[in-house]
Amino acid sequence: MRQQGSGHIVNMSSTAGLVGFAGSSLYCGAKFALEGTSEALAKEVESFGIKVTLIEPGAFRTDFNGRSLAAAKQSINAYAPVSGASLQWFKEMDGQQPGNPAKAAQAIIQAVESPHPPMRLALGTDAMSLIQEKLEWVKTDLDAWQQVTVSTDYTDRNSEVMVCTWTK
pLDDT at 16 over 60: yes
Residue 143 maps to a domain: yes
Read off the pLDDT of each residue in 25-36 and give the average, rounded to a whole number: 94
Residue 155 maps to a domain: no
Residue 165 maps to a domain: no
Read off the pLDDT of each residue in 79-88 and give the average, rounded to a whole number: 72
**What CATH number is associated with residue 96?**
3.40.50.720
In this predicted structure, what is the pLDDT of residue 68? 62
The pTM of the full predicted model, rounded to 2 decimals, is 0.81
In this predicted structure, what is the pLDDT of residue 158? 56
Which run of H or E residues covers position 137?
helix 125-144
In this predicted structure, what is the pLDDT of residue 11? 98
d(CA 133, CA 101): 24
Domain of 45 in residue numbering reads as: 7-150
DSSP string computed for 47-115: GGTEEEEEEEE--BSSGGGTTT----SS--GGGIIIIIHHHHHHHHHTTT-SB-HHHHHHHHHHHHHSS
pLDDT at 157 over 60: no
- Tally the domains of the chain: 1
Residue positions annotated with a catalytic role: 13, 27, 31
In this predicted structure, what is the pLDDT of residue 14? 94
